[in-house]
Amino acid sequence: MGPMASPSFEVGRPTDLDHTLSRLLEKSIRRSTALDLESLCIVTAQRVWSLRADLHFLSHDGNLIDTACIATITALAHFRLPVVTVSGEDITIHPVTERVPVPLSLLHWPICVTFSFFGEDDDGEMVCVLDATAQEEALREGDMTVTVNKNGEVCQISKSGGVAVEAETLMKCARMAAQKVKGIDKLIAAALREDEVARNKGNLDWLKEGRSENER
């Protein structure tokens, strides 16, 4: 997170937001076992794949947590791992051109939804806002992040401090999050499918070229 996103972020000095973000993402994705870690094993107890996700924040206009989570999940779902064959002691990693790489085994897509609370209105109802902008975030009195997948499983909830909220409101938020996640899930799936189509078209062209060359 650097000054590119917002001049308020300084270089080399992790802010509180930094910590919360990395903890939340870790809790949401790693601890909910979204990624089947065993599938990253090449030789048991000897060789494993190591995956690294770098997040770059380019522009900050609120709701970094949700955006980061969606980006990470999409990237993980988009990622293809080269095929590996093990025969005895030898491990061969097949290049992408040789064998079609396989996707990671993502068991489910946990998606963060952050609510911002703005205190109670005249009727004693809590004012909740989804997907707050940077300005709204600066003014909010409390926030809560719920991580849900499309099957309605809550993977993580975190609300620390801020304005005190009735349990009923929180439950309402959680249910709404589950609703929203279904929509986000569809969006991600659509984006992935689009990319898949674009890629396959390219692949086919490439194959054709190869064939014509062979004929010559």
Partner 1 sequence: MEGLRNDGRRWNELRRIHCQLSTSSTNADGSSYIEQGFTKVLCNVTGPAEPSSRQKVKQDAATVSCEVYFAAFSGTDRIKRGRNDKKVQELQTAIQKTFSSVILTHLFSRSEITISIHILSQDGGTLAACINATTLALIDAGIPLKDYVCACTSAQSTSIFDNEGTTPDPWLDVNYLEESDIPSLTVATVGDSEKIVALSMENKVRIEMLEGMIAVGISGCGKVRGIMDEEVRRHGKARLEAAME
Partner 2 sequence: MTSSPLTPEISLNPLPQSDGSCQYTCPTSRTTILTSVNGPLEVRPKDELPNHATIEVIVKPGIGVAGVRETRLSSLIHSTLQSLILTNHHPRTLIQIVAQIVQAEDHTSLPLLLTPLLNCTILSLLIAGIPMRTVGWSVHLAVLQDTKKDIKGVEGQVFKLAKTGDGDAMETEGDEQIVVRNPNSEILSLAKSSHTLTFSKEGDVLLIESLECSQGSGGESADGQGWDITDFLKLAEEGKRICCEEGVEIVREALGDRKVF
Q: Contact residues for partner 2 (CB under 8 A)?
A: 2-7, 11, 52, 54, 56, 58-61
Write down the residue that tokens 């079609």 correspond to.
Answer: 100
Q: Which of 157, 189, 191, 192 binds partner 1 (CB under 8 A)?
A: 157
Cα(74)–Cα(144) distance, rounded to whole angstroms?
23
- Shortest CB 177 distance to partner 2, Å: 27
Instruction: Indicate whether 20 belongs to the interface with partner 1 (CB under 8 A).
Output: yes
Q: Select the binding partner of residue 119 from partner 2, partner 1, none (C-beta < 5 to 8 A, by kind).
A: none
Instruction: Indicate whether 156 belongs to the interface with partner 1 (CB under 8 A).
Output: yes
Q: Which of 21, 27, 29, 69 binds partner 1 (CB under 8 A)?
A: 27
The two structure tokens encoding residue 83: 């095929």
Cα(63)–Cα(213) distance, rounded to whole angstroms?
51
Residues in the chain: 216
The two structure tokens encoding residue 34: 């979204």
Residues 6 or more apart from 140 whose CB is under 8 A from it? 116, 117, 118, 129, 132, 162
Query: Where on the chain is the footprint of partner 1 (CB under 8 A)?
Result: 16, 19-20, 22-23, 26-27, 31-33, 141-142, 144, 148, 152-167, 170-171, 174-175, 178
